[in-house]
Amino acid sequence: MADIDLTHLCRLAQLALDPAEQRAAQTDLARIIGMVDQMQSVATDDVEPLAHPLGHAARLRRDEVTETVDRERFQALAPEVQDGFYLVPRVVE
C-alpha cells in the first residue's frame, strides 16, 4: 500500500479538503497509486525518457516585439483590481 501524506500533498497543491473529501481522496489516491505501480513490472534501465511525442526542442521566435500589453482588457477578467493592480490579501504587514 502506497504511503500517501495527503496533508502534505494538499499543501503543495493549494487545496483544502473537508473531512469527507479527505477520506474519499485517501481511498481514491491509494487505489490510483496502487494501479500505477504496475509500471514497476517493466524494466526501463537505459531507456531514454520521452517528454514530447515528436521529440522536438521548443521553437524559438525572432527577438522582436510582437505583442503589446493590454492591461485593461486582461484585467477586465480579474475578480478584484484597483489602479491597474491585482488585489490580494495583505502579505506584508
Residues that bind other proteins (CB under 8 A): 4, 6, 8-10, 12-17, 21, 24-25, 28-29, 31-42, 44, 47-54, 56, 58-59, 61, 70, 73-74, 76-80, 86, 88-89, 91
| Minimum separation from the CB atom of position 41 to other proteins (A) | 7
d(CA 21, CA 4): 15
Give CA angle at 33 (28, 37), nearest 5°.
150
| Cell numbers that stand for 21 in this block | 473529501
| Minimum separation from the CB atom of position 19 to other proteins (A) | 13
